Amino acid sequence: MKILRADIYPLSIPLIEPIKMSREIVVDAKTVLLCLTDEKGRQGWGEASVAPLMTGETLDSLIGSIRYLVEKSLSIDWLEPDNFADTFSLFLYSNASAKSCVEMALLDLYTQEACVPLWQYLRSRNKSLNELPPTAIPLLRMLGGSLEKELSDAKTFRDLGFRHWKIKIGSPSLEEDLHRVKMLCDSLAGDVISVDANCALTLTDAIRFCQSEEASRLTFVEQLIPADLSMDDFALLKNSSGIPIGLDESIHGVAELEQFIDANAIGGASLKLIKTGGIIKALECAKLLSEHKLGLNLACKIAETSLSAAATASIGFATGEVSWGFSMSNQYLKFDVCDAPLIAKHGYLEVSQLASTGIGVTPSINRVREVIAKGYSVIQC
Nearest to 50 by CA among 98, 91, 107: 98
pLDDT of residue 251: 97
With a cut of 90, say whether residue 18 has pLDDT above it. no
Structural domain spans, the chain: 3-115+363-380, 122-353
Q: Tell me if 3-115+363-380 shares its fold with 122-353.
A: no
Give me the mean pLDDT over the 43-70 stretch: 95
User: Taking a C-beta distance cutoff of 8 angstroms, is the pair 350, 325 a contact?
Assistant: no
pLDDT of 128: 66
Q: Tell me, what's the pLDDT at 130? A: 63
Q: How confident is the model at residue 5 (pLDDT cuts 50, 70, 90)?
A: very high
Supply the pTM of this predicted model.
0.95
Task: Give pLDDT, residue 53.
Answer: 84
Q: Residue 24 pLDDT more than 90?
A: no
- Predicted confidence at residue 337, as pLDDT, reads 97
CA pseudo-torsion sign 236, 239, 240, 244: positive
Question: Is a pLDDT exceeding 70 seen at residue 179?
Answer: yes
The residue-averaged pLDDT of 156-184 equals 96
State yes or no: cis peptide before 303, omega within 30 of 0. Answer: yes
pLDDT of 131 over the 80 cut: no
Predicted confidence (pLDDT) at residue 321 exceeds the cutoff of 70:
yes
Residue 159 has pLDDT above 90, yes or no: yes
**CB within 8 A of 1, min separation 6: which ones?**
38, 39, 77, 78, 79, 106, 109, 110, 113
Residues 261 and 291 sit within 8 Å (Cβ to Cβ): no
| CA–CA distance, 126 with 116 (Å, rounded to integer) | 16
Is pLDDT larger for residue 127 or for residue 313?
313
**Separation of alpha carbons 120 and 140, rounded Å:** 23
Q: Is the pLDDT confidence value at 25 over 80?
A: no
Q: Please provide the average confidence, as pLDDT, over all residues in the chain.
A: 95
How far is it, in rounded angstroms, from Cα 146 to Cα 151?
9
CA distances from 340 to 48, 307, 337 (A): 19, 10, 9
Query: At residue 20, does pLDDT exceed 80?
Result: no
The listed range with the strongest mean pLDDT (16-20, 49-53, 163-167, 316-320) is 163-167
Residue 22 has pLDDT above 90, yes or no: no
pLDDT digits (tens, 9 = 90+) for 200-257: 999 999 999 999 999 999 999 999 999 999 999 999 999 999 999 999 999 999 999 9
Cα–Cα distance list, 151 to 24, 138, 183, 359 (Å):
22, 20, 8, 35
Strands (E), 21-58: 25-38, 43-49
355-367 pLDDT, tens digit per residue, is 999 999 999 999 9
Integer-rounded Cα radius of gyration of the chain: 20
User: How would CATH label the architecture of 122-353?
Assistant: Alpha-Beta Barrel (3.20)
The third-level CATH classification (topology) of the domain covering 3-115+363-380 is Enolase-like; domain 1 (3.30.390)
C-alpha–C-alpha distance, residues 311 and 46, integer Å: 9
Of 85, 83, 86, 105, the C-alpha closest to 32 is: 105
